[in-house]
Amino acid sequence: MGKVSEKSDIDFDSIAKMLLIKYKDLILSKFKKTVPIENIKFQNLIRSNQFAQGVLGQSQHLCSVYENPSWHSIVLEALDLDLIYKNVDKEFAKDGHADGESVYSDYLVKELLRYFKQDFFKWCNKPDCHHCGQNTSENMTSLGNQGPDAEESKFNCGTVEVYKCNKCGNVTRFPRYNDPIKLLETRKGRCGEWCNLFTLILKSFGLDVRYVWNREDHVWCEYYSTYLNRWIHVDSCEQSFDQPYIYSVNWNKKMSYCIAFGKNGVVDVSKRYILQNELPRDQIKEEDLKFLCQFITKRLRSLLNDDEIYQLACRDEQEQIELIMGKAQEREVENISAVSKTSNHGRESGSADWKAQRGEDGK
């Protein structure tokens, strides 16, 4: 009987290995083979759907802009690395972890959130008067927006907010820069500037990061935790780590689409964040959005080797199962009641009037 059992085990192992090889070949064929009809479908979709045009345009920028080693060096030189790592090591050791554990990067991201919000970057409802000096923003009255001048345009500035000081009468310009290296210098802005620079900071530490865009005018990051084997929500404005429920629950924000952009793919992650208050998703057919994200992702991975493509595909499947089966929602719902009782309802960053206008004050 022992010999029969041993032979059966060997056969089973062989079958399992064969199936795994075939499965890997199937995955690779989906990513490596170009089907002409897919190209035609993609071109037609881009021509006919404005939302698809927007997603493609954002992917062409957001999936590559932070992959800049020279920028990474500049960022690391600008940060207080001694303080950052001192705090990380302190918390890491306090919780009883040993050197080399993969959870270390989670501690690093949490400290970067703290450092960025409390020590490095400043929220700007209105700028201080350039003439009167610091802490004079409350004296400023908006005069509207203007286009950037020649100097401001050098730093990817789309628009400039203009303010007049009620005390001295001087005019102050607040350029909304999109160049993250310029933001290292100015160190101020709103959620767009915060997410822009913080995404680059995470990339500078060699972390796998995605930029998440919400159609209802907010942006944040996701970072892939090798310890938890999943994407983690990260919002530098709120110093928030792994709290995807804060928008639809704590802020009571109404949302429709949340799209993640990374160097290896574009993903609709709306199910992770929209736990209630879902707005109509009527900008594009669901099957077209799924196809669009998959097509762009396939393009982004075209130059990767087989093992890299396969590993990313397995990670994709794990994430999709989590989203489709509602695992993310189940995990968050279990913690929402306890966390919400100890957290401020409504958004932390921004003035009360600004948050109320955006429907992010928790009411």
CATH number of the domain bearing residue 324 = 3.10.620.30
- Within a domain: residue 126? no
Domain with 75 in it? 34-79+190-358
pLDDT-derived band at 331 (thresholds 50, 70, 90) equals low
Are 228 and 318 part of one and the same domain? yes
Note whether residue 213 is domain-resident. Answer: yes
**Is the confidence at residue 173, as pLDDT, over 80?**
yes
Q: 126: which residues sit within 8 A by CB, 6+ positions away? A: 137, 138, 140, 142, 163, 174
pLDDT score of 4 more than 70: no
Averaged over 27-52, what is the pLDDT?
A: 88
What is the model's pTM? 0.90
Q: Are residues 247 and 298 in the same domain?
A: yes
> What pLDDT is stored for residue 98 in this prediction?
79
Residues that are catalytic: 191, 218, 235
Lowest mean pLDDT among 42-46, 59-63, 83-87, 305-309: 305-309
CA separation for the pair 249, 339 (Å, rounded): 11
State what percent of residues in the chain have pLDDT above 70: 91
Question: Is residue 155 domain-shared with residue 278, that is, in the same domain?
Answer: no
- Is there a domain that residue 173 lies in? yes
Same domain assignment for residues 65 and 142: no
The whole-number pLDDT of residue 342 equals 42
Domain for residue 95, yes or no? no
Quickly state the pLDDT bin for 336 (edges 50, 70, 90): low
Cα 260 off chain centre by: 6
Q: Note whether 228 and 313 are same-domain residues.
A: yes
151 and 283 together in one domain: no
Q: What is the pLDDT of residue 24?
A: 76
Q: What is the pLDDT of residue 248?
A: 95
Q: What is the pLDDT of residue 325?
A: 80
User: Mean pLDDT throughout 233-244?
Assistant: 97
Q: Are 201 and 211 in contact (CB under 8 A)?
A: no
Residue pair 207/223 in contact (Cβ under 8 Å)? The answer is yes
Q: Do 104 and 206 touch, CB atoms closer than 8 A?
A: no
150 and 233, same domain (yes or no): no
Question: In this structure, are 198 and 295 located in the same domain?
Answer: yes
Residue 92 resides in a domain: no
Specify whether 168 is located in the same domain as 278: no
How many angstroms separate the CA atoms of 209 and 199, rounded? 7
Same domain, 165 and 143: yes
Domain total in the chain: 2
Residue 127 forms part of a structural domain: no
Do 307 and 328 share a structural domain? Answer: yes
Cα–Cα distance for residue pair 299/34, rounded to 1 Å: 10
Residue 264 pLDDT more than 80?
A: yes
Domain assignment of residue 28, yes or no: no
